[in-house]
C-alpha cells in the first residue's frame, strides 16, 4: 500500500523515525521541506510505500506548471535543495521494483510531467530507481570522519597548510567563535557573500525561509574579530550526521582565515556533541578545480560522489513546454532539464 502525506501531517516524521538512526538524515524530515514551501518552491510531500515491514520513502516538492496554454493542470516534482531521493529499509529487487512502479503510476495519475532528483551521497541511493530515468554524476563532496580521535583528524585529515592558517587565526589574529543563534548577523553575512559571488536569484532565500530555518534545531557557528562578526555558517543535523548548509563572511577579513578557523572549531564542537560524520558538501560548480571544493578538501580526505536524476513522465507535454519556451526566448540554453521554468 502507499500513502502521500503533506508536511503538516505528523505521520511524515513518524515514518522517517522508523528507520535506524544511521539511515536517518535531516533532508527527509517534514520541517526541512517546510523551509522550501516557505520559499515558494512548491508543496512538500512524501510518498510512502509499505509492504509488511518493508518501507520506502521519497520526499519531494510538487509544483504546478503555469504560464503555458495547457489543456489542464500539470505538475513537476523536485527534491529540495541538498540531498534526498528514496530511502528504503529493504533492498530486495522485487520490493524496490514494486515501490518504483507504484510511484510511477502515482505520477501518471497526478499529471506529473517531469521529475528532478538530488540523491543522497551518504546513502548511495542513486541506483534504487531504474525505470525510464537518467542518473548522472554531478560532483564530488567532502566528508569528515568524526569517529576518529581528534588528534588523528588534525594530523591526518587536515592539510598541513590549513593547520598553519588555523593556528594563525587563533594565535596571531585572536579570532573567537560562538555557537549562538544570531539570525540578524547571519543573514547580513550570507547576503553580503551572495552579492560578492554574483549568485543567482535561487540562493537569495526569503525572510520567511530564514525565520523557519532558525526555528529548527540548527547549529550556528559565528567567528568574531574584535567584537565584530566576520563569518557565520549554519549546520543541519540529525543523529549521526551533520551537514554544512549555508555560510557567509566579510571579504576584507578573509586574510585572517575566519572560515578555516570556523570549520575546525565546528569539527571539534560536532565531535564533542557525538556526531559521527560531518558532510561539508561540494563546490559551487561541477568544475573539478572549483575553489570552494578545494577549500573543503583541506578538512577531509573522504570523497563522496553526488548524483542527480532526471525523469520525464509525460513526454508529449514536456516537449510541448520545451518547444513553447524555445519559441518565446531569444536565447537558447541546451540540455537544461526543466528549462521551461527558467
> Among residues of the chain, what percentage have pLDDT more than 90?
85
C-alpha cell at 143: 566528508
Mark whether 15 and 97 lie in a shared domain. Answer: yes
Is residue 166 domain-resident? yes
pLDDT in tens, 216-272: 999 999 999 999 999 999 999 999 999 999 999 999 999 999 999 999 999 999 999
**Is 111 in the same domain as 134?**
yes
Angle of CA points 137, 117, 22, to nearest 5°: 85
Same domain, 77 and 202: no
Tell me, yes or no, whether 283 lies in a domain. Answer: no
Residues 102, 189, single domain; the answer is: no
Neighbouring C-alpha atoms within 13 Å toward the C-beta of 99:
25
User: Measured between alpha carbons, how far is 101 from 99 in angstroms, rounded to an integer?
Assistant: 6
Q: Are residues 10 and 117 in the same domain?
A: yes
Classify residue 274 as left (phi > 0), alpha (psi -120 to 50) or beta.
left
Count structural domains, the chain: 2
Is residue 11 located within the same domain as residue 83? yes
Residue 287 inside a domain? The answer is: no
**Same domain (yes/no): 115, 177:** no
Average confidence score pLDDT of the chain: 94
- Is 269 found in the same domain as 165? yes
4 pLDDT more than 80 = yes
Residue 49: what pLDDT? 98
User: pLDDT tens digits, residue range 164-201?
Assistant: 999 999 999 999 999 999 999 999 999 999 999 888 88
* Last residue within a domain, chosen from 259, 275, 291: 275
Residue 286 belongs to some domain of the structure: no
> Is residue 119 domain-shared with residue 200, that is, in the same domain?
no
261-276 pLDDT tens trace: 999 999 999 999 999 9
What CATH code is carried by the domain that includes residue 163?
A: 3.40.630.30
Report pLDDT for 217.
95
- Looking at the fold, whether 129 and 156 belong to one and the same domain comes out as no
3-state class of 320 per DSSP?
A: helix
Residue 193 lies in a domain: yes
Distances from the Cα of 203 to the Cα of 8, 251, 342, angstroms:
25, 19, 15
Q: What is the value of pTM for the model shown?
A: 0.93
* 300 found inside a domain: no
Non-local (6+) Cβ contacts of 93 within 8 A are none
Residues 116 and 202 in one domain: no
Q: Quote the CA–CA distance of 78 and 270 in Å, as a whole number.
A: 30
| Residue 3 confidence (pLDDT) | 98
Question: In the prediction, which pLDDT does 326 show?
Answer: 82
285: in domain:
no
What mean pLDDT comes out for the span 153-166? 96
Q: What is the pLDDT of residues 109-144, one digit of tens each?
A: 999 999 999 999 999 999 999 999 999 999 999 999
Name the domain boundary from 275, 292, 317: 275
Q: What is the mean pLDDT of residues 310-321?
A: 95
Distance CA 298, CA 271 (A): 18
Nearest to 91 by CA among 124, 68, 132: 124
> Is the pLDDT assigned to residue 333 strictly greater than 60?
no
- Model confidence band, residue 153 (pLDDT cutoffs 50, 70, 90): very high
Measured CA to CA, the distance from residue 331 to residue 326 in angstroms comes to: 8
Q: Is residue 290 part of a domain?
A: no
Are residues 9 and 82 both part of a single domain?
yes
**Residues spanned by the domain of 24:** 2-139+306-341
Q: Among 275, 295, 320, which residue terminates a domain? A: 275
**Cα 30 from Cα 11, distance rounded (Å):** 10
Amino acid at each position: 500500500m502507499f500513502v502521500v502525506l503533506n508536511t503538516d501531517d505528523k505521520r511524515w516524521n513518524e515514518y522517517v523515525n522508523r528507520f535506524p538512526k544511521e539511515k536517518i538524515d535531516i533532508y527527509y524530515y517534514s520541517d526541512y521541506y517546510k523551509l522550501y514551501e516557505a520559499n515558494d518552491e512548491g508543496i512538500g510531500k512524501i510518498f510512502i510505500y509499505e509492504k509488511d515491514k518493508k518501507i520506502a520513502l521519497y520526499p519531494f516538492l510538487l509544483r504546478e506548471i503555469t504560464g503555458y496554454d495547457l489543456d489542464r493542470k500539470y505538475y513537476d516534482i523536485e527534491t529540495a535543495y541538498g540531498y534526498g531521493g528514496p530511502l528504503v529499509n529493504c533492498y530486495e529487487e522485487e520490493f524496490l521494483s514494486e515501490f518504483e512502479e507504484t510511484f510511477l503510476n502515482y505520477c501518471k495519475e497526478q499529471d506529473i510531467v517531469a521529475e528532478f532528483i538530488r540523491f543522497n551521497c551518504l546513502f548511495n541511493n542513486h541506483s534504487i530507481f531504474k525505470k525510464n530515468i537518467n542518473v548522472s554524476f554531478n560532483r564530488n563532496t567532502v566528508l569528515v570522519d568524526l569517529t576518529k580521535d581528534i588528534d588523528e583528524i588534525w594530523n591526518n585529515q587536515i592539510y598541513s597548510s590549513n593547520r598553519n592558517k588555523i593556528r594563525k587565526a587563533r594565535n596571531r589574529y585572536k579570532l573567537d567563535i560562538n555557537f549562538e543563534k544570531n539570525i540578524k548577523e547571519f543573514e547580513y553575512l550570507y547576503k553580503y557573500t551572495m552579492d560578492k559571488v554574483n549568485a543567482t536569484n535561487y540562493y537569495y532565500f526569503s525572510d520567511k525561509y530564514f525565520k523557519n530555518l532558525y526555528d529548527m534545531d540548527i547549529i550556528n557557528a559565528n567567528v568574531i574579530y574584535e567584537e565584530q562578526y566576520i563569518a557565520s555558517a549554519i549546520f543541519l543535523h540529525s543523529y549521526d550526521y551533520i551537514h554544512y548548509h549555508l555560510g557567509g563572511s566579510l571579504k576584507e577579513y578573509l586574510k585572517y582565515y575566519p572560515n578555516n578557523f570556523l570549520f575546525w572549531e565546528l569539527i571539534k564542537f560536532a565531535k564533542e556533541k557525538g556526531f559521527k560524520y560531518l558532510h561539508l558538501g561540494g563546490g559551487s560548480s561541477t568544475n573539478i578545480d572549483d575553489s570552494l571544493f578545494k577549500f573543503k578538501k583541506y578538512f577531509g580526505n573522504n570523497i563522496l560522489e553526488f548524483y542527480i536524476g532526471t525523469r520525464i513522465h509525460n513526454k508529449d507535454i514536456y516537449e510541448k513546454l520545451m518547444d513553447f519556451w524555445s519559441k518565446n526566448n531569444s536565447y537558447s540554453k541546451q540540455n537544461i532539464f526543466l528549462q521551461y521554468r527558467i
